[in-house]
Each structure stands twice: as structure tokens, then as C-alpha cells.
Structure 1
Amino acid sequence: MANLLKNATLFDGERFLNNQTVEIVDGKISRIGDIADVEQSGHEIVDLSGQILAPGFVDVQVNGGGGVMFNDQRSVDGLAEIVRGHRQFGSTTLMPTLITDSFEVMREAADAISAAIKSGVPGVRGVHFEGPYLSLKRRGVHAPEFLREVDEDAFDLFTRGDLGEVIVTVAPECVPSAFIADLSKKGVHVCAGHSAATYEQVGEALSVGLRGFTHLFNAMPPLANRAPSVAGAGLDDPNSWCGLIVDGYHLHFASARIVVRAKPQGKIMLVTDAMATVGAKEKHFNLYGDTIQAVDGRCALDDGTLAGSDLDMMRAVELTHKQLGVELGEALRMASLYPAQFLRLDDRIGRVSPGFDADLVAFGQDDMKVTRTWIKGEGETH
């Protein structure tokens, strides 16, 4: 099946190009050019009428969506619903994220991810285990009864080989450095999060393979003049990636602007930390038996404690552009190319280029509303 996406304002991952046509053949981008460049016979043609066509968004922290929490529905059907909840907002690659739970639940979640990848659930390219090896002091809404030392079989679970890309968020002070080093050698993307570690402890973790920081500044001590802590280590290190929740609730916009200026370009990736309410009519859900409400885009317990987000990636891009003052192309890279680089998938996603997977999002230039997405060339109208 071949498709022609015509009259696009194309953002190819580097620059904007007007009046472009993108040819898709067998799920891959085949050719790019102006309208006259591509033979149109035998193609299904989509006229984008000047809309922006960009690389599909890559979200490395997605707890739920479409009314489903991954912790509760550890199944192929549950994962498909989460994808559907987020796809309408431009996300074409997701890392379903399991919040701290028992080892049995972790194993069941891994089995669901493996089955989803084998059955071709669109957009699922791996899994993110957020916990359970986290700091009790900085646990947020993670259940304290499930926080623990590293399980005997944890290494085998994370490196079993059929889970696609694997992210594991740990508190560096709560796990042996050798655990981080061994996971990294096996290709697991280890991140620091929900941590009270010192700058020095994080430095040790970075030296043995720590690659990223989960929702920078959230669930970690604030940066202080004589105690840079986890956040300071994340900003100071030029080689690691920092996830940022730009919703106006997790981080003041001024703080987010400082982060963007402080970290080298290419090392900030937008994440949603989304819960079940994204893409769902119901704006409440249960976590560990507690009801969490999403009000005006803010997910919280009754006592006001933040519990994930009601943020989608298109909104994150829009806020990054309009509230942080980041140029639109850079905001789009923060939502696609940079997380693709973090996942070491930037040879197939994150750009609109011949040979890359046809993972794409189209949205209006003025209202920034998603109208269409493609995952490996399969299109969907929103």
C-alpha cells in the first residue's frame, strides 16, 4: 500500500519546508519532495492543505490513557486502549509505564508487553518500570508497601530480551551501583527518579551507566546552593537526558525555562507521566484503591498530592512553545527526536526521512489540534 501526503508544511526533524509531499510505501517513508516530484498513480492521496506534518511523538512515561491504567489492565487489550487514548494527541511511540507494584505484577506487565509487541499493537516499542526500587522519602504516590530492595530475579526480568526497549527508574541510593552497571551493559535505559540521593551518589551512578532523569525536579530534593542533589546532577551532566512534565502543575513555567536554558540542546525530552484520564471521558480513576481526580488538567489525590498528569503530548508541545518560549521546531524535537535518541531508536523514528518508519502526526498551524496520525504507515483520522 502506498500513500501520498500532499501539500504539507513539513517539519522533517530539523527544518520546516513548505508545500511538500511525503510518499509512504510499506510502512516506510519512501520519498519527499514538492508535488511534481512524485508519481501519484496507484497511491492513496491525503491533502493536508498546509497543515504541519511532523515526526510522531515519542512518550517514554505513560502510566495510562483511554480510561486504562497499565497497573490495572496488564493485557494486550489494555495496552491497545492506552495507545488509542494517546494517539489522538500525536503520540505514535509509547513506553507503557508500570508504577511500583509487586514482583508478580511486574512479571505480568512484562508478559503483556511481550505479547503486545509480538501481536503488533501499534506504537508499543517497550516498557518503563518506574520503581519499585525507590526512596521512601520521595515516593510520591508510589505505595510504600511495595517499595523494597532489588528482587532476586529483577535483573533477569528487565533483561529477558522480548520487551523491546526497557527503561528502569531507580533511586541511585537504594540500589547497588553494580546493578545499574549490569543493566546498562545489557542495553537497559536506567534513569534516576523518586530519589533523595546526593549529587555525589548520582555522579557515581552516572559513571556506571545511568542515562536519564525521570520527571526532573519532581519527587527529588530541590537544587540548593550547597546541595545540588539529583536535580542539580541532572542539569550539570551534559550527556544524560532529562524528562520534563510541562503542564504548569509539576513545574513552574519559569523553572522549566531555566531547565531548558541550563541543559545542553538535545537532552530535554517532553514526557506526560499520563494517567488513565488522557483520552477518556471519565476524569477520575483508582490507584492502589484511592480515587484520583483530574480537574483542569491536574491529577491529584483528595489531599492535593500530585498523582501523574492529565497531560497529552500535543498539549506539552504547545505549552513548551507558547509558555516557555521555545521555538516550535525545538519543541517538536523535544517530543520526538530527543526521546528517540534516548531510546537509541533515532535510526528509525524521530525524523521524516527516507527509510524511516512512517510514524507521523499532522496538526493545524493555528490551533495546534491533531487531525491525523500514522504509525508505520497506517493512518488514522482524529
Structure 2
Amino acid sequence: MTGTFSVIGARILTGDAFEDGKALLVSEGRITAILPEVAVPGDIRRIDAAGALVVPGFVDLQVNGGGGVLLNNDPTVEGIATMCAAHARFGTTSLLATLITDRPEIRDRTVAAAAQALRDRVPGFLGLHLEGPHLSVARKGTHDPALIRPMTDADLAYLTAEVTDIGVRLITVAPESVSEAQVRALVAAGYVVSLGHTDVGAEAAARYFAAGASMVTHLFNAMSPLANREPGVVGAALDAGPVSCGLIADGFHVDPVAMRIALRAKRGPGHIFLVTDAMSTIGSDETGFELNGRQVYRRDGRLTLADGTLAGADIDMLSCVRFVHKRLEHPLEEALAMATRFPAEACGATTKGRLAPGADADFLLLSADLALLSTWIGGRCVFDATKAEPVARPSSARASGAGA
């Protein structure tokens, strides 16, 4: 459905609270108004939400794969579209397709695919997240150490001059492999720079924040920890007001106690927001896949190498929201903000992550017990649970990915 319509009979999340008796008015893919139901013009089509919750669509800034596709292994428009469609079935309406450390030719193919995906207006595609290769071997996670390397002048020139029309551009770097001057140049070119996979201390992290890094990739994972005499990247990120932090809320990457402490400790105006770090398994029946020549096993909600090292996450964004709300006992409105408004603000996506006039009509209908009823992107229903068919694993799916 496109054109002009209204959603009525719902509890609508506007800002920090739900409102009853209001209608969401949509026209040509944008939200035009939130107004009392009685004020909806009689000639406008009405969709009765039957008491459902209407919330902003989820914004995920770290998605390695989905629907049986890993971006590293399928750096194509079709691969990106498959990932976006798979995650839309779990409430994600905007995502950054994430390329982990790989060869320059894979990076170049991914950038070209991202540019085409933007031109094609692939539903749900927000931009590209380059996670590596300019990281620290000491905190490599499952990134291939043979491919990790310092950023050269040629790399910087390529990133700032050639990587342009791909939507939001997020890059994860480690101070061990990137200079403060290079960070300043990336920020000046329009990148959101995130620190991750790094073993530097709090003082060095603070210098890179001052240089323009405004985010931390998957807080706690693959970074120097908070200690009594060396606060590490974790401590620096929690203490740095403007810095926002991604968090994988699957219960395996970070202990719930650590999550609660971090949520209480984070200084604003930056926030802790949710990311999935999802792999190809989301929306597929895969029991495992190959990662850089190694087998990754899917068992009991975890993705691991043979030695037990976590290799990305096997979780969708709606499940992360449920975990934060139910397991961490965080208020629902705040758990939803962590999956919508906070990541949108962190990456500068001003029309995403909120229900307000002028915002994109990306929204979800949820039941009272947080089951997904439907997903809407740009005013079009892209997933309806009442009509959904089982997600099939694409025959072209193969393997590659990252972990923390």
C-alpha cells in the first residue's frame, strides 16, 4: 500500500511514551501527522491496528548477513537485498550492510554493490559499515589476522574520494592501525568513525574521540576492558558524553550484569544502542557455515568456531529488544529507543528511528507481547505475519563473516 492512508486503533510510540486515541497519517512514504483519530479526514484510507503497538522500525548498524547470505561472500546488490528482506521479517527497516576485514577487491565490489543498492532504492538499505581491515591483531576476534593492516595514504584517498554515494558510511578502526589525522580526514569526508577491535587504553581512546570518532563498535567485545587503574576503551566510551556505543544483547557476548551497569553508567548525550552483528543464519535454516576456511557452528543461539570463539551473533533485533526489556527489566520505551532512535541519531539518519511528521514511514505493528505483526518501509508493507511463508535458504548462500 502506498499513497495516503492512516493507521488507527493503535497505541503509537511518539517520543518517549505511547499515546492512545491517535492516528498515524502517511503520505507518499513519509509521516505527515500524528493526530487524534477523530480528526482523520473521512476520505483517507484507514488501517485498523486493532489495539496493536505502532513503533518506529528498527535501525541496525551492524549486519553481516541474513537469509543465508554473508556480505563478504556475496558482495552484490542481490546479496544486500536478500539481507534486508530477511531482517525486515524481524522488524529491521534500516540496516548498514557490514563488510568485515577482507581483501581490497572484495571491499571494492562491496562499495560498488552498495552504490547500486542505493540507486535501486533497495528497501531497508541504509548504507555500508566497513568493519576493518584497519584493526588491532591483538583484539582481532574472528577477523583474519593475515588481512588486518594499517591504513595507508592510498586507503584514505580511496575512502574519501571514491566511496561516496552509498548512503550512511560507518567505519570501524583501531588506533593501532589508523592515525588521529586519518580519523579527522574521514570525519571531514562524511564518515561516522567508530573505535573497535582495539587494545589501546582510555587515554588513547579519548584522543581519538577528540579527533572525531563518535562511536564504539560492540561495547565490551574485542576491546580493552574497564579496570581499576586502566579504564580501557570500555571506560573511556562510557565516560565520553558525545560517544555512542553499540551493544549485542544476546546474553552470550555480554553478561546481563555488565549490560545493566553500562546502561546506568553511560554519560549523555550519547547512548548505548542495540546492534545484532547478525550473520547469514538469520532468516535461514543454516546449521553452520564456513568462515575464512573454518567451520562456524550454530548451536543453542550461539555461533562459534570449533574452539568456542564467538563468530558473530545469531540474533535478530526484535529478540534483542525483548532481551533488554524482559531479561534486563528495562522499560519497553527505552528498549525500543535503543533499537530505533538511538542508532539513528548515532549515525546521523535524521529521518529514521522515530514517528514524527517528516520522518520516513518506517514502522512496525507489534502485539502486546511483542510479536511482530507487520513491517512497513516507506509506507509500504514489506512483511505481514498473517501471510508469511517460511523463509527459504537461498541456494547461493555460502560463508564468511566476523565475530567479536
Q: Give, in angstroms, the shift of residue 179 of structure 1.
A: 0.6
Query: Residue 341 of structure 2 aligns with which residue?
Result: 337
Query: Residue 282 of structure 1 aligns with which residue?
Result: 286
Q: Does 1:184 align with 2:211?
A: no
Q: Work out the CA distance in 2 between the residues paired with 1:82 and 1:252.
A: 28
Amino acid at match of 2:86: G
> What is the TM-score with the length of structure 1 in the denominator?
0.96
- 8 Å Cα contact 1:245/1:271 also seen in 2: yes
- 8 Å Cα contact 2:239/2:267 also seen in 1: no
> What is the TM-score with the length of structure 2 in the denominator?
0.91
Select between 126-135 and 32-41 the one with higher mean Cα deviation: 32-41
- 8 Å Cα contact 1:13/1:350 also seen in 2: no
Query: Residue 216 of structure 2 aligns with which residue?
Result: 213
User: Aligned to 2:219, what secondary structure does the other structure show?
Assistant: coil
Q: Percent identical across equivalent pairs?
A: 40
User: Aligned to 1:216, what secondary structure does the other structure show?
Assistant: coil
Query: Residue 373 of structure 1 aligns with which residue?
Result: 375
Query: Residue 317 of structure 2 aligns with which residue?
Result: 313
User: Which aligned pairs between 1:91-102 and structure 2 lie closer than 5 A?
Assistant: 91-102=92-103
Q: Work out the CA distance in 2 between the residues paired with 1:102 and 1:26.
A: 41
Query: Residue 28 of structure 1 aligns with which residue?
Result: 30
Query: Residue 110 of structure 2 aligns with which residue?
Result: 109
Q: Give, in angstroms, the shift of residue 363 of structure 1.
A: 0.9
User: Aligned to 2:176, what secondary structure does the other structure show?
Assistant: helix
2:328 counterpart (324, 329, 352): 324
Query: Residue 128 of structure 1 aligns with which residue?
Result: 129
Query: Residue 303 of structure 1 aligns with which residue?
Result: 307
Q: Work out the CA distance in 2 between the residues paired with 1:23 and 1:156.
A: 44
- 8 Å Cα contact 2:54/2:365 also seen in 1: yes
Q: Does 1:257 align with 2:260?
A: yes
Query: Residue 41 of structure 2 aligns with which residue?
Result: 39
- 8 Å Cα contact 1:158/1:188 also seen in 2: no
Q: Work out the CA distance in 2 between the residues paired with 1:149 and 1:50.
A: 54
Q: Work out the CA distance in 2 between the residues paired with 1:236 and 1:70.
A: 33
- 8 Å Cα contact 2:117/2:125 also seen in 1: yes
Q: Work out the CA distance in 2 between the residues paired with 1:56 and 1:225.
A: 39
Q: Work out the CA distance in 2 between the residues paired with 1:303 and 1:166.
A: 33
Distance 1:213 1:270, change over 3 A: same
Gaps of 5+ in 2: 386-404
Q: Work out the CA distance in 2 between the residues paired with 1:31 and 1:149.
A: 49
Q: Give, in angstroms, the shift of residue 40 of structure 1.
A: 4.1
- 8 Å Cα contact 1:107/1:157 also seen in 2: no
Query: Residue 273 of structure 2 aligns with which residue?
Result: 269
User: Aligned to 1:293, what secondary structure does the other structure show?
Assistant: strand
Q: Give, in angstroms, the shift of residue 13 of structure 1.
A: 2.9
1:14 counterpart (13, 16, 22): 16
Aligned pairs, number: 379
Q: Give, in angstroms, the shift of residue 335 of structure 1.
A: 0.6
Q: Does 1:89 align with 2:93?
A: no
Q: Work out the CA distance in 1 between the residues paired with 2:349 and 2:149.
A: 31
